[in-house]
Amino acid sequence: CLHDELKKADYVKLLLQKAKACGNKEMESIALFNMGKMIYYQEDKKQGYELMNEAIELMKNTDYKYKYDNLRYNYNTLLIMQQRDNQYEKALKTLDLLEEIVTKDMEGTTDIGSLTDKEKKTMYAQRALILSRLGRMQEADEAYRAWLAIGDTYSKDDYLIIPYLMDRKLYDKVIEMNKAHEDFLYTHNDTVTYHMRTIKRSLGDAYEKKKEYKEAAKYFKDLAILIDSLKVREQKSSALELAKIYETHEKDMQIKEQKAKLEEQHIILVAILGVLFLAGLAFYLVIRHLRAIKRKNRFLARQIDSQLAYREELHKANEEIKQLLKQQHEPSLPIASGKQTQSREKEEDYGDIRTSAEDKKLFEELDRLVEEDKLFLDPNISRELLLNQLHISKNTFAQLIQAYSGTNFSGYINNKRLDYSIHLLKDYKRYTIEAVATDSGFSNVRSFYRIFREKYGMTPSEYRNTFEKE
């Protein structure tokens, strides 16, 4: 995926996010450096350099096992970019930092044979070129002599010194080095290559600078022929490959065409039958599931209606009992009421313990207030409103609610609202669910749906649909 720029960018971003989340500075550095490279090649070079330098500083401050190997790679990459952009002062500083890592024995570097000597030779060539481009010829020549002192070993990268030799007009040396490489390639019959193309161009430039135009023309002519040969070879290779593929396919197509048609028809037939079977099975399962849901909803709806009807009858019976008791004890009611009020007022100060009968009577009074005045329809109803009317403490209030409703204040009020919503859903079929929720005292329809489903096992819409179909 590293050759797919879009995927590469995605993976680099993912690595950066994961590294930051885990506090892994070394992986964050690697991600930042690669992000900087991508941005650099997208022509936003300023931001690219900033990210790469930030990545290098981050790597310097880690204890990563491969810290110095990564810094070698980072500095070498940065050095190439800076030379390409003619930023020779910055390139020289980068080279100094790279040389410090290569030449010093640092814990954490990887020992790969004589890698240090090879890198030294490469750095001397780069230093000679950079100093030459900066006009510091004496220092450039010193770097060149250091390059020469290493000898003919690691000659594979000797081409790096050629730009310096051209700057110093050492054309004979350029010709000598390139001739040696040219002879080597001719000896091994490796003449139509991009390496040979570089050699021909370098020799042509050197002879042209020496004003030996005949030799220069010869090499430029060879270069033109070589470029054409490379293009022809590429085209021929592609053409031969395509021709071979075409020929193979042409023969196979004639043999397999009829067979393919028969197989295609067979596959289509099987696929159609399979799709029809799956569609039928899916339809059957959906219908079966819907019927099961309908049966369950009808059962739940009947339970809800039965519970509400039973509760209504119980409420009426309680009212009748209260009326009878009221008629029997009517003369003593004012005195009892006065004592009850005083008892409630004193309760907050002294915490009097009530009997079970008194608690039940107090809860019934609370329930009557809530029911008769439809207080539960107020979405902003609070405990304080009821506490002020009943003259009892918060603790006693909470105990009453818990003891006689089996839930807390919010649950008690929501149960009242749900009972009222059942009435609206049954009697006002044109009401939307949102209207039912609002008229029942719920602050929003989502809460209404959630609480209704938690208590009754189905949604308000499902309950209404079940009721309508019955």
Nearest to 426 by CA among 261, 305, 274: 305
> In this structure, what token pair is assigned to residue 120?
């030294």
Mean pLDDT of 241-254: 69
Least-confidence region, from 53-57, 226-230, 339-343, 429-433: 339-343
pLDDT-derived band at 345 (thresholds 50, 70, 90) equals: very low
In contact, 50 and 36? CB cutoff 8 Å = yes
pLDDT at residue 351 tops 70:
no
Mean pLDDT of 34-63: 92
Mean pLDDT of the chain: 81
pLDDT-derived band at 93 (thresholds 50, 70, 90) equals: very high
Most confident of 127-141, 147-161, 262-276: 127-141
Give the residue with greater pLDDT, 29 vs 361.
29
Those residues with Cβ within 8 angstroms of residue 116's Cβ, 6 or more apart along the chain or in another chain: 102, 103
Judging by beta carbons within 10 Å of its beta carbon (0-12, 13-18, 19+), is residue 264 exposed, middle or buried?
A: exposed
Plot region of 347 (φ>0 → left; ψ -120 to 50 → alpha; else → beta)? alpha
Q: What class is the 331-469 domain?
A: mainly alpha
